Amino acid sequence: MSLRSALGTVRLPRRDHHGSGQAPASALKPLKRTVETDKEWVDDVSDVVLSNRIFERVSAKKVRFENVDFRYCVFDGCYLRLCAFDSCDFTGCRFVGSSFHGSTFSGCKFDYALFERTLIDSDILDNCCPPFENLKLWFARTLRTNYEALGDRDAVNKAILVELHATRVHLSKAWRSNESYYRQKYAGTARLKAFFTWLRFVVSDVIWGNGESASHLIRTALALVVLLASLDTLLTRNPVLVKDWISALADAPQVFLGTTAPSYPGLIVAAIALTRYVILGLFVSILVRRFARR
C-alpha cells in the first residue's frame, strides 16, 4: 500500500500568490471609514454615533460632547481646546499629535485607546481609568509613554503610580482570584508562574518601590541598619543591657557605610559590603530615572 493511500487524501490550505499559506486578501472585510478633514465643531454634540471615523486637523473650542460614540476613531493633528467630554466612548481610539488643552473628561470610556504625542491633562487618570486592572494597566502605560514624549515629568510620575498599582492588583488576581477571566487565562503552571511574578513585584515594591520610590529605599536601608544592630547586640554584646542596644544602634550606621571596620568574620563583612553597594546602586538608579524625565 502506498503512503498516499495509507494516509488518504490530504488537502493542503490554499496559498496566496506569496506562498505563505495565509488566507487571501479577498477574505478581509473592507472597513468603511469616513474621513473628516479640516473641519470645526461649532455647536454642542450629544447622543450621536461618530464611530470608525478619521478626524484630521479637526478643531473645536468650548464645545460640549455628551454621550457621543467615538469608538475606533483616529484623531490625527486635532485641536480640541477647553471642551467638555461627558460619558463619551473612546474604545479603541488612537490619538496622534493632537491637543486637548484645557479639556475635561468625565465618565468616558478609554478601553484599548492609544496616545501618541497628544497633549491631554493627567486628570484623565483620576476620572476615566478602565474598571478592569489589566485594561487600567495598559491605559496608564500608553499615557506614560505619551507624557514621556512630551517631557511632562509630573504627568509621567502620576501615570507610573497608577500603572504600578494596577499591575500589583492584576498580578495578585492572576494567581488568587476566582474570576472566570483569570482562571481561564492563568491555569495550571501559568497560575504558579503568576504567583512568582507577583511575589517578585511585591518584594521589589517593598525594597525600592519598583525603582520609583526613594523613601522605600531609605526605609529598607534603615531596616537593614536596625537588623545589623540587633545581630551585633546578640552576637557580641549583652542583650540584657539597654545601653548595649543603644551603643550597637549608634555603631550600626558606621558599620553599614563602611566607615568603621567591624570585628566580624570575613563572610559577614563581605555580605555587609555587598548589601551596601546594592543599596547605593539602587539609589543611583532612582536618581538617573528621575533626572532622565526632566
Could you state, in order of their start, the residue ranges of all structural domains in the chain? 32-128, 131-206, 214-292
| Angle formed by the axes of helices 214-236 and 189-208, nearest 10° | 80
Structure confidence at residue 103 (pLDDT):
96
214 exposed, middle or buried (CB, 10 Å; 0-12, 13-18, 19+)?
A: middle
Kindly state the DSSP code that residue 210 receives in the 8-state scheme: G
| Measured CA angle at 203 (ends 138, 165), to 5 deg | 30
180 exposed, middle or buried (CB, 10 Å; 0-12, 13-18, 19+)?
A: exposed
Number of helices (H), then strands (E), in the chain: 9, 12
pLDDT tens-digit series, residues 207-251:
999 888 889 999 999 999 999 999 888 888 888 888 989 998 998
Structure confidence at residue 11 (pLDDT):
46
Rounded Cα–Cα distance for residues 167 and 256 (Å): 33
- Mean pLDDT per block of 10 residues along the chain (294 residues) reads 38 48 65 90 95 96 97 97 96 96 95 96 93 93 94 91 94 92 90 94 92 90 92 86 90 87 81 91 87 67
| Sign of the dihedral through C-alpha 128, 130, 134, 138 | negative
pLDDT tens-digit series, residues 122-164:
999 998 999 999 999 999 999 999 999 998 989 999 999 999 9
Structure confidence at residue 212 (pLDDT):
86
Inter-CA distances, 256 with 229, 237, 263, Å: 10, 18, 13
Rounded Cα–Cα distance for residues 144 and 150 (Å): 10
Rounded Cα–Cα distance for residues 220 and 216 (Å): 6
Structure confidence at residue 13 (pLDDT):
47
* CATH code linked to domain 32-128: 2.160.20
| Measured CA angle at 92 (ends 102, 106), to 5 deg | 35
Coil, helix or strand for 55? strand
Q: Grid coordinates in use for 123?
A: 486628570
